[in-house]
């Protein structure tokens, strides 16, 4: 027996139809910001692994702004954002001390 998803029904009420339209737009915006967040974090990690102190410091400053924006909008929890910033800050500082 093949398991297929049940077909979604369109909302009947105008408010429900509007909610669906809004959800699609909000989902697209959140997906974009989530991707921007992850890319910013990865860029800093790559710079740290490469050992490029100046680039890592520069990217870390940009990454902080992106992380704070995403956390303020509630896409990621504030504690996750703080944890990511803290860990990357420690890596960048260790890189600066090693050089």
Spatial separation of the C-alpha atoms in residues 86 and 80, rounded to whole Å: 10
pLDDT score recorded for residue 41: 97
Q: In the numeric block, which tokens belong to residue 75? A: 């896409």
Model pLDDT for residues 60-86, shown as the tens digit of each residue: 999 999 999 999 999 999 999 999 999
pLDDT score recorded for residue 49: 94
The whole-model pTM stands at 0.80
Q: Which residues contact 20 (CB under 8 A, 6 or more apart)?
A: 10, 11
Whose tokens are 């997906």? That residue is 31
The more confidently predicted of residues 92 and 2 is 92
pLDDT score recorded for residue 2: 62
CB atoms within 10 A of CB 38: 14
CB atoms within 10 A of CB 64: 17
Query: Are 33 and 69 a contacting pair, CB within 8 Å?
Result: yes
Spatial separation of the C-alpha atoms in residues 28 and 11, rounded to whole Å: 20
Residue 79 domain flag: yes
Domain range for residue 78? 23-98
Residue 66 domain flag: yes
**Domain count within the chain:** 1
Residue 67 domain flag: yes
Model pLDDT for residues 3-31, shown as the tens digit of each residue: 777 777 889 999 999 999 999 999 999 99
């Amino acid at each position: 027996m093949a398991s297929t998803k049940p077909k979604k029904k369109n909302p009947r009420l105008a408010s429900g139809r509007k909610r669906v339209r809004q959800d699609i737009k909000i989902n697209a915006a959140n997906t974009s910001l989530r991707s921007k967040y992850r890319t910013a974090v990865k860029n800093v990690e790559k710079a740290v692994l490469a050992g490029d102190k100046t680039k890592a410091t520069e990217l870390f400053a940009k990454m902080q702004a992106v992380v704070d924006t995403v956390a303020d909008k509630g896409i990621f929890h504030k504690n996750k954002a703080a944890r990511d910033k803290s860990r990357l800050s420690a890596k960048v500082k260790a890189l600066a001390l090693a050089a």
